[in-house]
Amino acid sequence: MKVGFIGLGNMGGPMARNLVAAGHEVSGFDVAGADVEGVTPALSAAEAACDADVVVTMLPNGPILRSVADQVIPAMKAGAVLCDCSTVDVDSARAVAEQARAAGLGALDAPVSGGVGGASAGTLTFMVGGTAEAFEKVKPLFDVMGQKAVHCGDSGAGQAAKICNNMILGVTMIATCEAFALADKLGLDRQKMFDVVSTSSGYSWSMNAYCPAPGVGPTSPADNGYRPGFAAELMLKDLRLSQQAAESADADTPMGELAARLYAEFVEREDGRGRDFSAMLPRLAGRGRP
Ligand code: NAD
């Protein structure tokens, strides 16, 4: 397939590289330069998009997606599909899909889970919103860049799945860190805590696969001085998206709201910026009751 790829950063770069390795013809654009082996650099987003069957975007946020969509949609050929893999707000995802459809194009919101490691290894999970027809057309690309693609429903359903998942992740990470901090003060050994909880009803991905305690459980950013991994500010971004969605959908999400507030304090008023989101553990372990 001919693919236009816009946004070749930490995630987009390796995703585009995997498409090239699988034999797709990829034309790429990034404001910071499109230096990915095998990708033909374009001079603009529109140039990368104009000849493509599928245009993939992997951009920082909703406002940037909307501005890139304004540039690429008029340039795309009839029947092509715009597939946004960034994590953005549900409203931006729906607005861009509507704009693409009005121009005679297919559109998907297809955010990912799996991080930079998954992007490099081609093992991402895609959660996808849009028509079945557009999903089937892009499926061969999902199969190259990832190991699983779930068609979640209409436009916006992919972003909805992503922010609901990450709201659970933010909340369970804080709960896990909080429990370790309490265990410390109760004199319970962290390894014993892991041995019990990881096989008891308190288990979770945060505990079992990404344990926030250094030297305990599988290797995680905690074992690397809390270098990300998944940065605290990215978790904050996602928690703000879920709170924004909750507000516009009139959903009551008190735990999500508290998690967003704690990550905001950590990132904006303390030393959380640039640290992994599991660094909530040293933050909480170093404190007493307020
Ligand atoms: P990144 O900042 O490394 O990459 C974004 C790229 O977009 C940058 O290279 C930037 O130069 C480029 N860009 C910005 N404005 C542009 C424009 N107008 N036109 C063209 N290019 C432009 O970020 P990333 O880590 O690759 O994340 C991308 C998206 O994926 C984000 O929405 C993020 O939330 C999501 N995501 C990231 C991870 C992760 O672990 N990094 C995991 C899942 C989802």
Q: What is the CATH number of the domain that holds 145?
A: 3.40.50.720
Domain co-membership, 169 together with 148 = no
Domain co-membership, 246 together with 204 = yes
CA gyration radius for the chain? 20
Domain co-membership, 140 together with 24 = yes
Domain co-membership, 134 together with 260 = no
Domain co-membership, 110 together with 189 = no
Q: Which residues are catalytic?
A: 162
92 ligand 1 Cβ < 6 A:
no
Domain co-membership, 128 together with 16 = yes
Domain co-membership, 127 together with 193 = no
Domain co-membership, 182 together with 281 = yes
What is the pTM assigned to this prediction? 0.93
58 ligand 1 Cβ < 6 A:
yes
Domain co-membership, 237 together with 264 = yes
Tens-digit pLDDT string for the chain (290 aa): 999 999 999 899 999 999 999 999 999 999 999 889 999 999 999 999 999 999 999 999 999 999 999 999 999 999 999 999 999 999 999 999 999 999 999 999 999 998 888 999 999 999 999 999 999 999 999 999 999 999 999 999 999 999 999 999 999 999 999 999 999 999 999 999 999 999 999 999 999 999 999 999 999 999 999 998 889 999 999 999 999 999 999 999 999 999 999 999 999 999 999 999 999 999 999 999 98
The ipTM estimated for the assembled molecules is 0.99
Domain of residue 237, CATH code: 1.10.1040.10
What domain range includes position 282?
160-286
Last residue of a domain, one of 153, 179, 196: 153
Ligand 1 pocket test: pick from 30, 125, 230 the residue with the most ligand atoms within 8 Å of its Cβ. Answer: 30
Quote the ligand 1 centre to 59 CA distance (angstroms). 4
Domain co-membership, 177 together with 261 = yes
The structural domain count of the chain equals: 2
236 ligand 1 Cβ < 6 A:
no
Residue 27: the pLDDT is 98
Are 153 and 108 in contact, with CB atoms under 8 Å apart? no
Residue 290: the pLDDT is 85
Domain co-membership, 146 together with 8 = yes
Residue 116: the pLDDT is 86
Domain co-membership, 113 together with 243 = no
Residue 259: the pLDDT is 98
